[in-house]
Amino acid sequence: MKTHLKTNFPPHQPNLANNSTTRFAIVAFLTLSSAIALPSCASSPNTLSAAPSASGKNQIAAPAPQSAPAAERAGASSKVAADTAKKTAAETTATAPQLIKKAEMSVVVKSIDTSTKSVTEIVKKQQGDILAFQNQKPPDSSVRQTATLQIRVPQEKLETTLNALAKLGSVENQGLTAEDVSDQLVDNDARLKNLRKSEEVVLKIMERSGSVGDVLKASEQLSTIRESIERIDAQLKSLRNQVAYSTINLTLEAAVTARQEPEPSLGLQVQETWGKATHSVGELTLGLFALAIWMLAYSPYIVLIGAGIYGFNRFKKQHSVPKIQEPKPPN
């Protein structure tokens, strides 16, 4: 940078001392001005170079706002894809077959009592219920003891329950049946919607002013529609309940063991026989005593009936005419 310095020199004076002083002042002023001007000139390129760098930064950061719409579009597309996947999953679930499943299983176990407790624990763990239980103990130890159970479990836990029950012993028989009731559910659901719409129409008709006969006819029609709605609604609930819960008919059979039950001793058998005999004699005595009381209570009627029979027989004998035997002709 060039620094222009304008100095007004005084008129020439012959004094040399003054001239040297003036020259020294001028040189000092020029030196000071150069020292001040050089840092300012040196700082200007830095400032100029910093500006382009700043502008470069701005040029690099400038595209950032343009990436936001792209991110939004990407997020929107992913959301649409997720919604489509959810709709597809919902449609698949809605169109899945509605099955009523029933299973049968026969298992040979070591002990009926122990296995019954295990079955109760398994059913409770699978959030099911035991609907029926029957235990039949045969009189002969050579015949298998059997117990039957009817179990209800959620359909999604049917397979798990069957696998757990199969571990109780040796499976002899196992079967599974499934009935598809999808069409029945769809049909009943459509009929129910139509009946509800008809109910709304009839209610609107009844709200209008009309004759008593029209109102009575509409009321009868409304009663019929509501009866149909209740019947179809009950059928739908029953079908959905059967679809949601599966039934298992379980038969437990105890294996026949070589060890027989010990028979009671002779003294115990005699004591039991004597007890039965005395009990029978007591019942017979009470029965005869009760019969005597009944006869005593009805004795007047018995006497009247007996007297009537006796009088009738006597009267019959008195008025009976003896038959005359005709003589036989001689041979």
Tell me, yes or no, whether 220 lies in a domain: yes
User: Same domain for 229 and 159?
Assistant: yes
SS (H, E, C) the chain: CCCCCCCCCCCCCCCHHHHHHHHHHHHHHHHHHHHHHHHHHHHHHHHHHHHHHHHHHHHHHCCHHHHHHHHHHHHHHHHHHHHHHHHHHHHHHHCCCCEEEEEEEEEEECCHHHHHHHHHHHHHHCCCEEEEEEEECCCCCCCCCEEEEEEEEEHHHHHHHHHHHHCCCEEEEEEEEEEECHHHHHHHHHHHHHHHHHHHHHHHHHHCCCCHHHHHHHHHHHHHHHHHHHHHHHHHHHHHHHHHEEEEEEEEEECCCCCCCCCCCHHHHHHHHHHHHHHHHHHHHHHHHHHHHHHHHCHHHHHHHHHHHHHHHHHHHHCCCCCCCCCCCCC
Report yes or no on 303 lying in a domain. Answer: no
- AA letter at 189: D
**pLDDT in the model for residue 30:** 54
Looking at every residue in the chain, the average pLDDT score rounds to: 75
Tell me whether residue 50 is in a domain: no
In a domain, 83, yes or no: no
What pLDDT was estimated at residue 76? 53
**Residue of 43 and 217 predicted with greater confidence:** 217
pTM of the model: 0.49
Average pLDDT over residues 175-201: 91
Each residue of 233-254: pLDDT tens digit? 999 999 999 999 999 999 999 8
Please check whether residue 63 lies inside any domain of the structure: no
Q: Is there a single domain that holds both residue 29 and residue 124?
A: no
In a domain, 80, yes or no: no
Range of the structural domain that residue 25 is part of: 1-40
Quote the tokens at residue 177.
Answer: 């049946």
Instruction: List pLDDT tens digits, range 4-53.
Output: 434 444 444 444 444 445 555 554 555 444 444 444 444 443 333 333 33
23, 102: one domain: no
27 and 143 inside one domain:
no
Same domain? 104 vs 244: yes
Residue where one domain finishes, among candidates 260, 289, 305: 260
Q: How many domains does the chain have?
A: 2
Residue 215: pLDDT band with limits 50, 70, 90? confident
Q: For 44-87, write each residue's pLDDT tens digit.
A: 433 333 333 333 333 433 444 444 444 455 555 556 555 655 55
- Determine, yes or no, domain membership for 107: yes
